[in-house]
Structure 1
């Protein structure tokens, strides 16, 4: 059974393992160490929510929600939320992302967000389908990304 719960500092190692698996699959140089996860996904000053999928004490996925500030990396409207979702490759399509999003959406509502942005690589068909299933709609397309938004 998978339980979606708020991330704790000691989840950084498990979250890092999920992120490393995905970054290896994507052949991406993006950082994925436990220290990076702690700083960027758990303790970041812009963090509104960090939720993990815990399956019998193993982290099998996580979702991050941050507030978009002025001049943010994704050029998202300041005050919107920015979401990222990471699930073990062999567990995609099993409902883990949906359970993570239920908790993240509650945090977005508590934070008073109007919209959440998901900016996704154009070649990440799984993520594009996932965010559509969660009610996100495309609002911007760039050369290698598609931005989707969802009203909170």
Structure 2
């Protein structure tokens, strides 16, 4: 597996990953190319968006890190990072999320960002478990969303 920054040429394959997640019932909407470009690759607050590429060149998943501006749609505090992780169900349990997170933490340190927030659906046990395993801890909850925070400032800490 190879981790690299996402670019427009990866857009359709990233859209296919979102469609795979939707087809598995793990996402509310499919992801078309325009959505991928606008929300991940070309987003004005993008810090990093990395893709995990399999040995065959196929995109297995991707992870986005954005800068949280005041009034962002996720309610993350201004100045934090906002993370989104999307791994194809066909690539689950292969270490894709862990490898992507290593690249994301490096980007957060370089930016620099001290905290990253993830907003996970309360009925998404796999997503909640993933972020917990990466070192995120619950910060706030609603009926539908659990927000977890990761403290990047612990620069000496190893990613689990």
TM beyond 0.5: yes
**2:53: which partner in 1?**
54
Q: How does 1:22-33 map to 2 (within 5 A)?
A: 22-26=21-25, 28-30=27-29, 32-33=31-32
**What TM-score do the two structures reach when normalised by structure 2?**
0.90
27-36 or 100-109, which deviates more: 27-36
CA distance in structure 2 between the aligned counterparts of 1:66 and 1:114, rounded to whole angstroms: 13
Q: Deviation at 1:13?
A: 0.6
Quick one: structure 1 residues 79 and 51, their matched pair in 2 at CA, closer, same or farther if it must change by over 3 Å?
Answer: same
Q: Deviation at 1:94?
A: 1.3
Aligned residues: 151
Q: Deviations over 1:37-70 (max 9, x none)?
A: 1121001101100000101211110000001111
Secondary structure (helix, strand or coil) at the match of 2:52 reads strand
**2:144: which partner in 1?**
144
- Unaligned runs of 5+ residues in structure 2 are 153-160
Question: Over aligned residues, Cα RMSD in angstroms?
Answer: 1.2
CA distance in structure 1 between the aligned counterparts of 2:101 and 2:62, rounded to whole angstroms: 10
CA distance in structure 1 between the aligned counterparts of 2:79 and 2:151, rounded to whole angstroms: 13
- Unaligned runs of 5+ residues in structure 1 are none
Secondary structure (helix, strand or coil) at the match of 1:143 reads coil
CA distance in structure 2 between the aligned counterparts of 1:132 and 1:3, rounded to whole angstroms: 24
CA distance in structure 2 between the aligned counterparts of 1:117 and 1:80, rounded to whole angstroms: 7
Q: How does 1:4-19 map to 2 (within 5 A)?
A: 4-19=3-18
**What TM-score do the two structures reach when normalised by structure 1?**
0.95
